[in-house]
Amino acid sequence: MKYFLLLLSVFVITHGAPALAAGDAEPPPEMHWSFSGPFGTYDRAALQRGFQVYKQVCAACHSMDLKSYRNLAALGYNEDEIKAIAAEYTVEDGPNDEGEMFERPARPSDRFKNPYPNDAAAKYANNGAMPPDLSLITKARHNGANYVHGILTGYEEAPADTELMSGQYYNRYMAGHVIAMAPPLSDGVVGYEDGTDGTVEQYAKDVTQFLVWAAEPEMEERKRTGIKVILFLLVFTGIMYAVKRKIWADAH
């Protein structure tokens, strides 16, 4: 009996602790993603739609300091399109010949424009909460893609027994079910250039795929390399087995 209680205690410690740390958050639904599995790839159309959602919605509060406009070539944009996208923003540069800093249109080599001049301004504009940079958000969260999609689609009316302070919102997939970010998406908030229906579910799927790409743009190449390595090892193993049989053919 004491051994059973010991095993039960170990199980509670190792399996129960994460549930308590997560604040009874409901696990986000498992989605089917085109990039899942060893042969998964990014959907370029979804990536472009996701970038559109980020640009028109998320970029108002969240930075992506690790990405440059030229990285959008991987989404299927050509050079002229990337220059046009970058030119929509202005960045500080300098000093000029007079020693003054100045504003200029962004170039493809520039990083994505940060919506705030500094962290203090970001916190002040968001009731003291620092909006996380989204460059690696799907790597920084457990079950990254499903987590992000769940948060974006998990806003609900708070139950009667739940009190929310000003600036707080109820989200079924958030730890503790309380989140400081207002619901960012609503049907029709972004008009897709390719004519895809603009629903919260579609926006969430597309921007999630875009954020997964941003965190791991080399994923497709990594998977292709892995498959090549496995095939090479299989062939090499077969050759070595044949050599071994040949060498030891006369041994008894």
Q: How does DSSP assign 26-95, residue by residue?
A: PPPPPPP-TT-STT----HHHHHHHHHHHHHTGGGT---TT-BGGGGGGGT--HHHHHHHHTTSEEEE--
Per-residue pLDDT of the chain (252 residues; tens, 9 = 90+): 444 444 444 343 334 434 334 456 789 999 999 999 999 999 999 999 999 999 999 999 999 999 999 999 999 999 999 999 999 999 999 888 888 999 999 999 999 999 999 999 999 998 888 999 999 999 999 999 999 999 999 999 999 988 998 889 999 999 899 999 999 999 999 999 899 999 999 999 999 999 999 999 999 999 999 999 999 999 999 999 999 988 888 776
Question: Could you tell me which of 129, 133, 141 has the C-alpha nearest to residue 111?
Answer: 133
Cα-flanking dihedrals φ and ψ of residue 231, to 5°?
Answer: -60, -40
Report pLDDT digits (tens) over 118-168.
Answer: 999 999 998 888 999 999 999 999 999 999 999 999 999 999 988 998 889
Residue 47 CB partners (closer than 8 Å, separation 6+) = 75, 76, 206, 209, 210, 213
Give the chain's domains with CATH numbers: 40-63+134-239 (1.10.760.10)
Distance (Å) of CA 187 to CA 60, 152, 169, 192: 18, 12, 19, 12
